[in-house]
Amino acid sequence: MRLILDVMGGDKAPLEILKGVLFALPECDAKFTLVGDPGEMSRTAKEIGLNLEQFEVIGASSVITMEDDPIQSFKHKKDSSMMVGLQRLADGQGDAFVSAGNTGALFTGATFMVKRMPGIKRAAIGTVISAEKPFLLLDAGANISVTPKYLEQFALMGSAYMKTMYQITEPAVGLLNNGAEDCKGTALQIETNTLLQACTAIRYVGNVEGNEAMFGACDVLVADGFTGNIFLKTAEGSFRFLMKTLKCEYRKNPINKFSALLFRKSLEGMKRAFDPSEYGGSPILGISKPVVKAHGSSDAKAIKNAILQAIKYAESGVAEEIARAAQGGER
């Protein structure tokens, strides 16, 4: 098992990325290929006491920034740490790839260089959301324009992912919609709902509203990338806003401060439970090899979790499960 890592992608690269490697080392026995600017990598590694000689180190002369256009980056930054890493994955010189860089560029590069699995019409970005029970939102923002058939494939891929990675025998799949009835939604949701009802390869539980998803309605929440992104950002914003309000209230007076002190452990637990970095990164499902997007603001812990997730993704047979589902296998 060889993991390829984009050391230059992300807001806190390369420091937190290499620290993430340091944290991941004792918890896995994978080999690492580190891709990035050789000078910066060796300076940073020295700083944190990481011996680079134990890894395969591949130089890359540029970096794709968060502001770069995805298509342009893919076309004209072939020498970037992200594209060099993806090319090695495509060439079979590694088994999984992790990057905290530009999401659009990673999605485009993965699609055109590593390529989609046979039969898969669109790859999609999955994100595990921690609520009453963890569930996979798919697509979280990559495909703005989709068809019911694409969404059906997202359902199959999401189901395969949760089955394999979370050991859920028959994951409940729901369609994000504005009501439970079959008539709800735009033409896209109405047609997709009909298609999913007829799909024997998954356990479809029907339309799911935004609030129900938080209370365990499904293990896989299927959406087009636009609606999925609205859902994801709104949930993140709501959690963050409530935690901020709580923090402000706790600071208001000495009694509240004392109360917070007593409640400290629970608060830390809650913060951890809602922290996306605890869940690793976002898998790009439908690509022929595992590609995992870590959050742009990832710290070392988030990178470590994304690395461990990518290794598990590569070793657990998610790809085979998806391929089987895409070929029309029964559940």
Q: Which stretch binds its own copies (CB under 8 A): 24-32, 74-82, 114-122, 205-213?
A: 205-213
User: In angstroms, what is the C-alpha Rg of the chain?
Assistant: 20
Shortest Cβ distance from residue 267 to its own copies (Å)? 8
Q: Which stretch binds its own copies (CB under 8 A): 20-28, 147-155, 255-263, 302-310?
A: 255-263
Peptide bond into 139 cis (omega under 30): yes
Q: Which stretch binds its own copies (CB under 8 A): 11-19, 38-46, 138-146, 304-312?
A: 138-146
Interaction of residue 112 with its own copies, rule CB under 8 A: no
- Taking CB under 8 A as the criterion, the residue among 226, 296, 316, 317 binding its own copies is 226
Interaction of residue 236 with its own copies, rule CB under 8 A: yes
Interaction of residue 141 with its own copies, rule CB under 8 A: yes
Question: Closer to its own copies at the Cβ: 263 or 320?
Answer: 263
Considering only residues 260 through 299, tell me which ones interact with its own copies, judged by CB under 8 A.
260, 262-263, 266, 269-270, 273-274
> Rounded to whole angstroms, how far apart are CA atoms 1 and 95?
6
Dmax of the chain from CA atoms?
63
> Rounded to whole angstroms, how far apart are CA atoms 164 and 140?
20
Interaction of residue 235 with its own copies, rule CB under 8 A: yes
Q: Which stretch binds its own copies (CB under 8 A): 48-56, 156-164, 165-173, 178-186?
A: 178-186
> Rounded to whole angstroms, how far apart are CA atoms 82 and 70?
12
Contact between 16 and 298 (Cβ < 8 Å): yes
* Burial tier of 327 (Cβ tally within 10 Å: 0-12, 13-18, 19+): exposed
- Taking CB under 8 A as the criterion, the residue among 212, 275, 278, 315 binding its own copies is 212
Contact between 114 and 289 (Cβ < 8 Å): yes
Fill in the DSSP letter of residue 286: T
Tell me the angle at which helices 254-262 and 264-273 cross, rounded to the nearest 10 degrees: 70
Fill in the DSSP letter of residue 85: H
**Contact footprint for its own copies (CB under 8 A):** 131-132, 141, 144-145, 176, 178-179, 185-186, 189, 209-215, 225-227, 229-243, 245-246, 249-250, 252, 255-256, 258-260, 262-263, 266, 269-270, 273-274
